[in-house]
Amino acid sequence: MSDMNGRVALITGASSGIGRATAEAFAAKGAWVVVAARREDELASLVTDIETRGGKATAIKTDVSAKKDVERMVAHAIEMYGRLDYAVNNAGIEGQLAGITDLTEEDWGNVLNINLTGTFLCLKYQARAMIAGGHGGAIVNIGSVNSFLGFPTGAAYVTSKHGMIGLTTSVSAELAPQGIRVNLVCPGVIDTPMHHRLRGLIGNEIYDKGLLPQVHLRRAGRPEEIAQAIIFLCSDEASYITGTTLTPDGGFTLTI
């Protein structure tokens, strides 16, 4: 796969899980990395780790549901490195899982504001920066197998992830003439803090005997495996891929 030396990658939700693994993968390919999340200590640790390995990184605290934060995040990338080549919109929450008769408007709005409106805001300002730079770019949004599949008590989360499909395909069509590719990655069961919380909610027995057997590979995926799928979609090798959905899920959706 082609190297990314001298190019700039911006990753949201970079403090843990898939976001952290993706930032490390971009740095390993030679890209200069901007990492964004709400947890500053974790971001600082990530920057230190990347720099210890010889990479180049900078962090900025960001709430993607806040327009001013997103504007500042993208401006920080341009100020630090002078350009923006890749963006990964990974920030998201599962929110409060509750049946539709109990789900509050506040919980509904919180999930939609971060997962879907947050991605919209990121796309808006990332696209502006890439268009102004005049050298194209690649953006990857992070959905979920729940972009296709619903589950009880998950109305807010599932709706936010379903919306990522329409958002991605619409924006990819719009930005293609500017040489900007936009794709969606929909991971399955991945060993991240979010899935650890899921395991705690449903219990080890249901997780091990009910959920994992539906994965063809019979295991949870690793964050770095999803990171490699993201890196591919941003790379020159994926130059003819836009508006598509890649589903690294170990075969999970083929079983449902």
Burial degree of 1 (CB within 10 A; 0-12, 13-18, 19+): exposed
End-to-end CA distance of the chain: 33
Residue among 81, 86, 125, 157 flagged as catalytic: 157
* 7 contacts: CB under 8 Å, gap ≥ 6: 30, 31, 32, 83, 85, 86
Q: What's the maximum distance between 2 C-alpha atoms anywhere in the chain?
A: 53
- 3-class SS of residue 239: coil
What gap in Å lies between CA 101 and CA 115, rounded to an integer?
22
What gap in Å lies between CA 218 and CA 241, rounded to an integer?
29
**Known catalytic residue at 157:** yes
Q: Please list the alpha-helical segments (H only) found in 88-186.
A: 105-112, 118-133, 155-175
Q: Which residues are marked as active site? A: 157
